[in-house]
A = this chain, B = another copy of it.
């Protein structure tokens, strides 16, 4: 149904569908590789946004080495396709242990993330023959998600000691997702936030080293702070951003990218004209676009509509989007039934996840299809 059986034009595709601009996606991958080279920092890109082998190849510069994933399904998907040195950057529980152990057996390098004694205890109780567990300690630097608070030196030291005192577990490094970077906007603020997070991490690292605990890697992620890195980011060993492969409207609002860098978009068709309520319907509802843009843009739209600044998507049901004008009346003749619109997602991670196939295009030509990994 959704397979590309022959070369096609974008306009021949059935809607709704998810399009990726081949040049933009390659440029986005290259941009982060260049930033990391300039900063002399290892790039360990996050696969959670695109979840495809092709994106993984672009993001690792075809090395297939050093990636971050958010689900075991992703780890297995990339491992099965020749990727190695995978960081499962997620707090795991006992139900995941059998699959984690299989991945440890299979891969040369497979790192886990912990932020407390529970995860550590699972590793203490479960050896994999001939292999050590390697773990990143999650540190919380203000993002308010997982991790031990950076200033809780006592707890950090306690856990780090428990790790290093165990024969079959190694401390690989420190991991922070600086999620608070999504709460600021503009170059200055992003750099300031990245720098401040680095300072916190280095303090943690220094305290551990003073207690004879070696920290091989200090890594920091988030597309905003890695796209617009402050000078101190050069003191890190690793970046692990993910969203930049597609970027999105949210990133453009934050200032991580400009709108022209957004590589992914939903193509949809007009399915109805309702002049009495100044409204059109489109065949993309929340199962295509996701609800993630709800309430986020000042004009109440769920997304930007490419090249149509006077239109907005104001409501969505499962399979239908409601389009109206930002001001005045819709020029219905300009949008015949069956004609297409292109929706730039507010959050590309959420939108991409709604599709089981992405269509790569070069201008008007569909040139490839990518199939993302699904589930957990």
Q: CB within 8 Å of B: which residues of A?
A: 1-2, 12-17, 48, 70-73, 76, 90-96, 99, 115-116, 118-119, 144-146, 149, 179, 269-273, 276-277, 279, 281, 283, 286-288, 290-292, 294-295, 317-320, 336-338, 349-350, 353, 355-357, 374-376
* Residue numbers in B under 8 Å from A119 (CB-CB): 337
Task: Determine the distance from Cα of A216 to Cα of B1 in the docked complex, in whole angstroms.
Answer: 33
Most buried by B among A17, A76, A90, A91: A91
* Residue numbers in B under 8 Å from A357 (CB-CB): 375
24 pairs, A vs B, C-beta closer than 8 Å: A1-B76, A1-B375, A14-B95, A15-B95, A17-B376, A48-B318, A48-B319, A70-B318, A71-B319, A91-B271, A91-B272, A93-B270, A93-B283, A94-B338, A95-B269, A116-B273, A116-B337, A118-B338, A144-B277, A145-B317, A179-B317, A287-B353, A355-B375, A357-B375
**CB <8 Å contact, A272 and B320:** no
Closest 4 CB pairs of A and B: A118-B337, A291-B291, A91-B271, A93-B338
Tally of this chain's copies: 2
**CB <8 Å contact, A374 and B356:** yes
Q: Chain B's nearest CB lies how many Å from the CB of A177?
A: 9
**CB <8 Å contact, A146 and B1:** no
* Residue numbers in B under 8 Å from A144 (CB-CB): 277, 279
Of chain B, the residue at the smallest CB distance from A273 is: B116
**CB <8 Å contact, B269 and A376:** no
* Residue numbers in B under 8 Å from A269 (CB-CB): 93, 95
**CB <8 Å contact, A145 and B281:** yes
* Residue numbers in B under 8 Å from A350 (CB-CB): 286-287, 291, 318
**CB <8 Å contact, B70 and A319:** yes
**CB <8 Å contact, A96 and B14:** yes
* Residue numbers in B under 8 Å from A16 (CB-CB): 376
